[in-house]
Amino acid sequence: MRVQVNQQLYRDGIDLTLQMLPFSAKNGVDPRVLPPDQDELCLALDALGKEYEHILVILLSARLNPAIASTHGICQNLHSSAGIHIIDSQATSVGLGLIVQAAAEAAREDVGIAEIKRMLNWLIPHVYTIYCTQSLTYLSHSGQIDPAQALVGEIMGVTAFFIMEHGRLIPVQKARNARNMVDIFEEFILEFGDLRYIAMIQGVPPFAAEIRALRERIHERYPDTPYSEHLMGAAVATMLGPHSLGLVTLIK
Q: Work out the pLDDT band at 44, boundaries 50, 70, 90.
A: very high
Q: Are 128 and 247 in contact (CB under 8 A)?
A: no
User: In this structure, what are the phi and psi dihedrals at residue 221, rounded to the nearest 5 degrees?
Assistant: -85, -30
pLDDT at 57: 96
Q: What is the pLDDT of residue 90?
A: 97
Label the pairing between strands 54-59 and 195-202: unpaired
Q: Find the domain containing 144 and state its range.
A: 127-251
State mean pLDDT over 212-218.
Answer: 94
Instruction: Check whether 63 has a pLDDT greater than 80.
Output: yes
Give the pLDDT confidence score for residue 113 in this predicted structure: 97
**Spatial contact of 96 and 63, defined as CB atoms under 8 Å apart:** no
Q: Could you read off the pLDDT of 130-175 as tens digits, one per residue?
A: 999 999 999 998 888 898 989 899 888 899 999 999 999 999 999 9
Is pLDDT at 49 greater than 90 in this prediction? yes
Residues whose CB falls within 8 Å of the CB of residue 230, separated by 6 or more in sequence, listed in order: 93, 94, 199, 200, 201, 202
Kindly state whether residue 7 falls inside one of the protein's structural domains: no
Burial 200-235 (b: 16+ CB within 10 A, else e): bbbbbeebeebbebbeeebeeebeebeeeeeebbbb
Q: What is the pLDDT of residue 143?
A: 85
pTM of structure: 0.91
- The pLDDT tens digits for 79-127 are 888 999 999 999 999 999 999 999 999 999 999 999 999 999 999 999 9
Q: Does 62 or 12 have the greater pLDDT score?
A: 62
Coil/strand/helix, residue 238: helix
**Structural domain contains residue 26:** no
> How many distinct structural domains can be found in the chain?
1
Confidence at residue 228, expressed as pLDDT on a 0 to 100 scale = 96
Asked if residue 236 is part of any domain, the answer here is yes
CATH of residue 217: 3.30.1180.10
Q: How far apart are CA 163 and CA 65, in angstroms?
A: 17
pLDDT value at residue 62:
94
Query: In which band, very low, low, confident or very high, does the pLDDT at 204 lie, cut at 50, 70 and 90?
Result: confident
Position 80 scores a pLDDT of: 86
Whether 187 maps to a domain, the answer reads: yes
Query: Is residue 163 one of the residues assigned to a domain?
Result: yes
In a domain, 156, yes or no: yes
115 in any annotated domain: no
pLDDT of residue 33: 92
For residue 228, the cross-strand partners are 199
